[in-house]
Structure 1
Amino acid sequence: MEELRNRDGLTEKEFLAKYRPGNYERPSVTVDMLVFTVEDVRPPGRSVPDKVLKLLLIRRKNHPFMNQWAIPGGFVNIDESVDAAAARELKEETSVEDVYLEQLYTWGEVNRDPRMRVISTSYLALVPGEGLKPRAGDDAAEAVWFTVRREQQEETEGLKTWNLFLESRDRSAEIRYRVTEHFTKNGVLMAEETQLLPETRDRLAFDHAKIVNLALERLRNKVEYTPIAFNLLPEEFTLTEAQKVYETLLGRPLFKANFRKKILPMVVETEKKTENVRHRPSQYYRFDPDWRKKNEGF
């Protein structure tokens, strides 16, 4: 078969031999990892703890944005995939490893990094907090769990406004943004514009506030149609614990009966029950990875 030649008369082998990548400007590629967990908080007078959502942040050791809080991340090496880079950078900066990372979004604004043109792939991970003890390393001065939540302030046609809060456990760092979303229709298309304005002295480095905001929105949506919330639960859990996790991710209370109708096809009973002398023991369950096959048509 005759080899194909381009308009310069070159075969592919000849073209590649003459090709010089250095003749073209190239962006750098980074990865950013959003690691979420939940933590128990026990309000006064309640026997069952509530849950709060936590996000792992690092305090940057070097310029740019030195001493500011950021999502763990770093540059992709020339000889590794973005997935491998995400796992490596997370371990180097926080000592967290062996967690499932799912690609969230690719960020490519031209001026998002003051050093150079940088395109970043963000990753999402949900992990049980038990036994996970992050430690800072590499370019991170600290690795700290921050409570994170969104509180909606206003919603009208074409406009939504809320506050995005992040607070360290010892409350030494508090980050708050006012988020405004505008929606405009052009025929059948919907255009969306999001603006985040910092309202505290502490703020997130780079465009990481946008990344956190999108991650929270994606979490809330995925909880509705996937079993992603079970990644935040221990291997064995009660239905009350599961409901608290769902409510934390959705940001609203759920009706007990409706929730249990939704979740029972996704779990199986264990032989374990809670030990409580004041109330009837609660049954422990575990997530059933084969629940879809067993409940076809559900």
Structure 2
Amino acid sequence: MEERDLQNLSEKEFIEQYQQTEKDKYEKPSITTDMVIFTIDTEKVSDKRKKAEKELQLLLIQRGGHPYKGDWALAGGFMGIDEDVDTAVQRELKEETGVDGVYAEQLYTWSAVNRDPRMRIVSVSYLALVDQEKLPPLRAGDDADDVRWFTVKDRVVDSWDEQSGSTIRRTEEIELELTSGEITVSATIERVTVTEGANTKTAVKVTKQDGIAFDHAEIILYSLERLRGKVNYTNIAFNLVGEEFTLPDLQQVYEVILGRNLNKVQFRRHVEDMVLDTGRELRTGAYRPSKLYKYNAAWVHNQLK
């Protein structure tokens, strides 16, 4: 039936006719979800005079089947035809790791043509922050051989600028390293940012990877940098502390995410409206008692006024 004839039908007739003759004309990519779950781990210390350090960690699963069998990947999988992506990401997370009910927000859609060797697959990535103490013990399930928390480290190992007229091309070589016990996986990523007048475009390419499946090194780096951006203007970091916390602990969470030390006075000024004094104190080892605070739930509403 010609397009003009289809448009002369009622909507119900049009849908019925379309499903019979038109909908199979187009190739259909599969949809998957990938969840980037960060947490903060506090090292266990036996010396009470030593302050426990914190590490930013990422949840990865070891693939039990091809492709990338034995490599490490983000939790996720295929969306069912009868579910939306939000439902799919939670279902896959529970099936692969045993973790249930994690709040996550959509981050980005990854659609490079050859990102998966099996077929044309588009993936929707999610970013989540969780307090590790609130999670059940991890367990590998479904098609995962293992599931672990990996300590995240990234650094720019080289960068250079090239300028031609009003066009500036900046190239950065970034190393991403993820470590869990005796296991270390890594990737080298090249990021090229081209600025022409007021317009800026960025292209990212993984030039080397060891033990990381698919394009997940690129997804992890993008998520890490988005997290660093959001921590400066949102309340996202409070997902990584307990119901009650000290300001030094909260500051250390910010520092671990940002990868740099913060000025104590400036930090406390930054979060003063975001916290409430509980009137309680915490005593740890040989240190002086520290005041305990909780998140001020009214802070978000105050930002909207």
Partner of 2:111: 108
* Aligned counterparts of 1:76 and 1:287: Cα–Cα separation in 2: 35
Of 75, 79, 95, the match for 2:78: 75
- 1:192-207 equivalences in 2 (<5 Å): 192-198=202-208, 202-207=210-215
Partner Cα separation in structure 2 for residue 249 and residue 242 of structure 1: 11
Q: Please tell me whether the aligned partners of residues 167 and 175 of structure 1 are also in contact (alpha carbons under 8 angstroms).
A: yes
Query: Partners in 2 of 1:124 and 1:49 — Cα distance?
Result: 26
Q: Counterpart of 2:174?
A: 162
Aligned mates of 1:65, 1:267 — CA distance in 2: 45
Alpha-carbon shift at residue 42 of structure 1 (Å): 6.2
Structure 2: tracts of 5 or more residues without a match? 162-169
Match in the other structure for 1:150: 154
Which residue of structure 2 aligns with residue 26 of structure 1?
28
The sequence identity of aligned pairs, in percent, is 45
Aligned-partner Cα distance in 2 for 1:80–1:276: 48
Counterpart of 1:260 in structure 2: which amino acid? R
SS at match of 1:7: helix
**How far 1:22 sits from its partner (Å)?**
2.8
Match of 2:128 in 1: 125
Contact 2:48 / 2:285 at 8 angstroms: preserved in 1? no
Q: Deviations over 1:34-75 (max 9, x none)?
A: 111011136889622221111000001111111111001111
CA distance in 1: counterparts of 2:76 and 2:44, whole angstroms: 33
Please say if residues 101 and 125 of structure 1, whose CA atoms lie closer than 8 Å, have aligned partners that are also in contact: yes
SS in structure 1 at match of 2:228: helix
Determine the C-alpha separation between the residues in 1 that align with 2:24 and 2:156.
Answer: 49
Say which of 192, 210, 226 aligns to 1:182: 192
Q: Are residue 220 (structure 1) and residue 228 (structure 2) matched?
A: yes
Give 1:296 shift.
7.7
Counterpart-to-counterpart distance in 2, 1:277 and 1:112: 50
Deviation at 1:31, TM superposition (A): 0.5
Look up the match of 2:166. Answer: none
Give the TM-score normalised by the residue count of structure 1. Answer: 0.91
- Structure 1 residues 211 and 127, CA gap change in structure 2 (3 angstroms): same
Distance in structure 1 (CA, Å) of the matches to 2:144 and 2:25:
34
Quote the Cα distance in structure 1 between the aligned partners of 2:11 and 2:303.
52
**Equivalent pair of 1:92/1:137 in contact (CA under 8 Å):** yes
Give secondary structure in 2 for the equivalent of 1:146: strand
Residue type at the aligned position of 1:40? T
RMSD: 2.1
Q: Which residue of 2 aligns with 1:247?
A: 255
2:277 matched to which residue of 1?
269
> How many matched pairs?
289
Partner of 2:52: 49
Q: Which amino acid aligns with 2:58?
A: L
Report SS of the residue matched to 1:225.
coil
- Give the equivalent residue in structure 2 for 1:288: 296
For the 8 Å contact 1:59–1:68, the answer to whether it is kept is yes
Does 1:191 find its partner at 2:201? yes
Please tell me whether the aligned partners of residues 186 and 212 of structure 2 are also in contact (alpha carbons under 8 angstroms): no
Kept in 2, the 8 Å contact 1:42–1:48? The answer is: no
Unaligned runs of 5+ in 1: none
Offset from partner CA, 1:218-276 (integer Å, 9 cap, x none) = 00100111110110111111000001100011011001110011111100011321124
Deviation at 1:13, TM superposition (A): 1.8
CA distance in structure 1 between the partners assigned to 2:272 and 2:158 by the alignment:
35
